[in-house]
Amino acid sequence: MGHTIIRQRRDPSRFKLLLIALAVGTLVTGCSSTSSNSVRVVDRNNAAPKRPVVTTGQYVVRPGDTLFSIAFRYGWDYKALAARNGITPPYTIRPGQAIRFDGRSSGPAPVAGSTVVASTPSSSIKTTIIKRPLDSTGKPIAAPATTTPATTPTTPSVAPVVATTAPAQVPPAGRSTAGWAWPANGVLIGKFASNGSLNKGVDIAGDLGQPVFAASDGSVVYAGSGLRGYGELVIIKHNDTYVSAYGHNRRLLVREGQQVKVGQTIAEMGSTGTDRVKLHFEIRRQGKPVDPLQFLPRR
């Protein structure tokens, strides 16, 4: 029995419409699938939990500790920590004394460990050159005078060591409108990060032994190497609100209780407590780290 084959002629316009309909349907299906199975994006810079202020337990004072260094280590404003422990000005403490963080009466057991996190330079930031002007003798030029009455500082008889390599770019000299000046010459290799596990200040790379300057007038409240991760460290109290810290020095040129002026050489840059020659610089407002670049002169 024969079969009759009927060939139907395709309509090109209908075939094109069918292809368009199928393509649109595929796109709609794909969008629905994407919305129902969305991929979660995680910002790794914010993945680490923020480290809170220590509010439990106690710390037993060791030789070389000061109230300011303890407050700095555990994220406290020194006045708040003093008030919690009934310590009055000039905030003198002694080895073996228990400093409580929870407001309870002192107990025998100290808090183990340290909450200070070593600074880690960022490799993805834009390189910035920092340079303070020097006079013909190689000493830093003094910053412009202010109307604030100043006390005469007692400076050690050590000549500042000047960096031998001149950076290619020079930022403006002098102080910022807030009264701060750059603490060292060099390349900015690490910026502030607010996460508890990241940089609490800025890192400035330079030459071994070059001078580190006080960023503002104040009083030295700590000079030593007792804070893990900071190496040879200087902390300067500027007023009841602000302190600044200068870490990883090779040698300290000031002592606790000494008054210093902005631009005064307080240390020699080094690599103590870290893997390269650099200055780690922090500004803290009522015990909390803040971005130093918001206070220093613009580059």
The answer, yes or no, to whether residue 154 has pLDDT greater than 60, is no
Identify whether the C-beta of residue 183 lies closer than 8 Å to the C-beta of residue 215: yes
For the chain, residues classed under CATH 3.10.350.10 are 58-100
* Interval 133-144: pLDDT, tens: 666 666 666 555
Q: Which two tokens stand for residue 65?
A: 């500790």
Confidence of residue 273 (pLDDT cuts 50, 70, 90): very high
Nearest Cα neighbor of 161 from 51, 296, 234, 251 is 251
Q: Is the pLDDT of residue 287 over 70?
A: yes
pLDDT at position 64 over 50? yes
* Length of the chain counted residue by residue: 299
The token pair at 187 is 């390349």
Tokens describing residue 247: 């870490």
Task: For 96-125, write each residue's pLDDT tens digit.
Answer: 999 999 877 654 444 444 333 333 344 444
The dihedral built from the CA positions of residue 193, 196, 198 and 204, taken in this order, carries a sign that is positive
For residue 44, is pLDDT > 50?
no
Pick the CATH number of 128-140+151-294 from 2.70.70.10, 2.102.10.10, 3.40.50.261, 3.40.50.300: 2.70.70.10
From first CA to last CA, the distance across the chain in angstroms is 96
Where in the chain is CATH 2.70.70.10? 128-140+151-294
Please give the pLDDT value at position 137: 62
Task: Give me the pLDDT at residue 54, please.
Answer: 86
Q: What is the pTM of this model?
A: 0.60
Asked if residue 209 lies in contact with residue 161, where contact means CB atoms within 8 angstroms, the answer is: yes
Choose which CATH entry (1.10.1740.10, 3.50.50.60, 3.10.350.10, 3.40.50.720) describes domain 58-100.
3.10.350.10
Confidence check: pLDDT of 71 > 70: yes
Cα gap 283→134, rounded to integer Å: 25
56 within 8 A of 107, measured Cβ to Cβ: no
